[in-house]
Amino acid sequence: MSRNKRDELVEKSLWLFYRNGFHATGMDLVAKETGVSKTSIYKHFRTKEELILAALELRDARFRNWLMSRMEELSPTPEGQLLAMFDAIEEWFCEDNFQGCMFVKASAEYQSEDHAINQQSLAHKQVLAEQFSGLARAAGFADPVQVANHLMVLKEGAIVLAAMSHSATPAQDARAVAKLVLESAARV
């Protein structure tokens, strides 16, 4: 299988896993929906879990790049970008194919902390928290890690509530609380 075919398989599998879940998406369905034979799939990915990890890697890169770029487009300042995160996720919540966070879903289906899928899902959240901490540091907050952690809790809660309620409202609710968090946080 060529690199382009492999990438296409990962791309299509990503959306199958996102739509249907990881355990519910069997390799027969992957083969049927992607048009790639199971034999060809297994030549590139020894297990379904390896395919899931590749799909999560693709989702991680795309989501983080989109989110950070969108935050920069929405505000020129680091503090403004932290609040703009909630405006950006509100846009995501309004997309027709929004079904919550793929990494939350993955960690719910692969709950063991030793499982590679659970670890990769956590790593995605940790990298986002580090990026938010960098923005909080640039904005002059005395404890940028704490600010980032508080905003992560708000962001993750908004995502879960948006997926459950099929509403974008949690984004602006979380933004309002985030504004209070930023206003009350100590500055350098």
The torsion region of residue 66 among left (phi > 0), alpha (psi -120 to 50) and beta comes to alpha
pLDDT of 1 above 60: no
Digit-coded pLDDT (tens) for 67-113 = 999 999 999 999 999 999 999 999 999 999 999 999 999 999 999 99
C-beta of residue 139 within 8 angstroms of C-beta of residue 82: yes
Can you list the alpha helix ranges (DSSP code H) found in 46-115?
A: 48-74, 78-93, 102-109
pTM: 0.94
Instruction: Tell me the pLDDT of the chain averaged across its residues.
Output: 96
Mean pLDDT of 170-177: 98
Q: How far apart are the first and last CA of the chain?
A: 54
**pLDDT > 90: percent of the chain:** 97
Among residues 65, 58, 56, the alpha carbon closest in space to that of 121 is found at 56
Domain architecture of the chain: domains with CATH: 57-184 (1.10.357.10)
The whole-number pLDDT of residue 108 equals 97
Tell me the pLDDT band of 3, cut-offs 50, 70 and 90. Answer: low
Query: In the structure, what pLDDT confidence band is assigned to residue 2 with cuts at 50, 70 and 90?
Result: low
Neighbour-count burial of 89, counting CB atoms closer than 10 A to its CB (0-12 exposed, 13-18 middle, 19+ buried): buried
